[in-house]
Structure 1
């Protein structure tokens, strides 16, 4: 027997400290106008010295579990998407599991960067569809601020990223009417490692010679993110557009049938261009990058929670999501809320 899954609970959390573009002007030798024009970002949240990725994930997870009407003991799997783990190993999902007090259940940590939530959604959906699990906690969480080059050298990347977490509960459901009942309809996942070095952090790493990290690497700034912005911009628009169309075609729905688009929040210009390419009305796209920046694996669930709170996402709506990120990886999902 094949089962379906649906999103039954949503939660999010961002650290309280806000850094506006004006706060970064002297630090990064930039300006509010420069950042807004190129990215659409106005502010972002950064953690204090003592907050970790799993701390943010914990708060979002507790909200999602409560929203689903469950307790932690009802969760039988955790899927944790992050590129900014608490430690090199074990995976951050294990630290979250301990904080939630739910030992022995399966935990996955996945590293698909900005596409992590879509990959995690597909993974969780398939485990539920197999009949082996009933309630999966899917989390996307990031602490970028501790790994950014906060000098003028890092200006092009460091203005982009914020810290935050979003979580959803996927639960087993029965679908009687696919045109009305809430469920995950389809996901499509893609990658092309040819572009892996166009958006990456090269050090520490075991592909650099005899040392995973040394003084020369640190002096060169290899521990900080590098991005070929133009290449990422062009590919993001192309791939997000393609994969959204693929999901819709498979399910026999048109873009006009979609009530709300929840895209990954990397750059407001990217999402606006995708809307232009696909002829999607801007009012159907819910953006949060203006106030959170790019929180990588957290952007889609974080935006989902805000959309619910603002009355933009309501039960019965048909939702399309797409993301693109380092790897390159990209993917899409079509689901009814």
Structure 2
């Protein structure tokens, strides 16, 4: 049988990040704020997740996944030294689009006043940005596009069960968006070196929202009118997700390092999906990474799903924690289950 794993493709171009930006709502919601309307407290939340506060879009705000994505994109495009008309393609990752359809990518294209470039929506939840970045990377490496805008944006707060019943999930998630401009480079030793993607659908219902869906659509929703129906809110088997996450994180990081002939000691900056501080700490300890080699911001933003990796990457870069020639590893795990990693040299 032909072994595709032994085939190494050689591309004419490489891709590298030339611009980064992120946006989070001004409204800060602390753990003590949550305790005012559900049975929880700061100690309980920090002990289980590491989260101290998160950003939630304030009622009456014009912000949404697409709007936040556009705000982050403007920053990233400007930092890349480009204009919206220089962008050839959009890859937009979110689980919380403004509309059931069409997706957020076309809304972003309109909001930024772009020409009629293509827009692709990625629905891979927590690993959404890693998947989106890998797609953009291939478009550039094959020579199809020169500049691709990659966005991760989430508006979680409008869809959470903000009662004691839903506290196990609702305390975790926050709103926000991040964007990266991925551009063509002819330097094979800089930029994205490899990406690695996986899925295991048999665990799909361990982290899911069951409705609305094609099986539970508008007539059923209107007919039921049941305030106790939990199918509209996120469900997570927390312990099961944690156990799978720490295994898959480790596997996919090792896969990326091995592919590029690197060791854990070569990592200058590890940017994990901000799912749970305990998961990050477990992986950090396993790979013997110092605090200087890991960037965590879940403490102040919570889990922003498809936006978490790009917000953290943008923040780390802004703080000067990522420098030229650094080896940067991105990794994410989430609903699906899906997981992935990207290895790049800055």
TM-score norm. by structure 2 comes to 0.94
How far apart in 1 are the matches of 2:340 and 2:291? 21
CA contact (8 A) 1:203 1:217 kept: no
Alignment partner of 1:325 is 2:327:
no
Structure 2 partner of 1:257:
266
How far apart in 2 are the matches of 1:114 and 1:218? 28
| 1:2 shift after superposition | 2.3
Alignment partner of 1:14 is 2:24:
yes
Structure 1 partner of 2:3:
none
Structure 1 partner of 2:39:
29
CA contact (8 A) 1:205 1:212 kept: no
How far apart in 2 are the matches of 1:211 and 1:327? 27
How far apart in 1 are the matches of 2:248 and 2:207? 16
Structure 2 partner of 1:273:
282
Alignment partner of 1:175 is 2:187:
yes
Q: Deviations over 1:272-316 (max 9, x none)?
A: 011122222233110010010000011111111111121111222
How far apart in 2 are the matches of 1:124 and 1:162? 26
> Unpaired segments of 5 or more residues in structure 2?
1-10
Q: Deviations over 1:205-256 (max 9, x none)?
A: 1234895534266531211000000010000000010000001001101110
From 160, 178, 184, the equivalent of 1:166 is 178
How far apart in 1 are the matches of 2:27 and 2:257? 39
How far apart in 1 are the matches of 2:255 and 2:293? 19
> Unpaired segments of 5 or more residues in structure 1?
none
TM-score norm. by structure 1 comes to 0.96
CA contact (8 A) 1:204 1:212 kept: no
Moved more, 297-306 or 46-55: 46-55
CA contact (8 A) 1:272 1:282 kept: no
CA contact (8 A) 1:203 1:212 kept: no
CA contact (8 A) 1:4 1:184 kept: yes
Superposed CA RMSD: 1.4
Structure 1 partner of 2:136:
124
CA contact (8 A) 2:12 2:186 kept: no
| 1:29 shift after superposition | 1.1
How far apart in 1 are the matches of 2:167 and 2:294? 28
Within 5 A, what are the aligned runs for 1:76-115? 76-115=88-127
How far apart in 1 are the matches of 2:305 and 2:323? 24
Residues matched between the structures, number: 333
Aligned residue for 1:90, secondary structure, equals coil
Moved more, 270-279 or 249-258: 270-279
Structure 1 partner of 2:84:
72
Alignment partner of 1:58 is 2:66:
no
How far apart in 2 are the matches of 1:275 and 1:143? 29
Alignment partner of 1:313 is 2:325:
no
How far apart in 1 are the matches of 2:178 and 2:320? 18
CA contact (8 A) 2:85 2:115 kept: no
Moved more, 307-316 or 257-266: 307-316
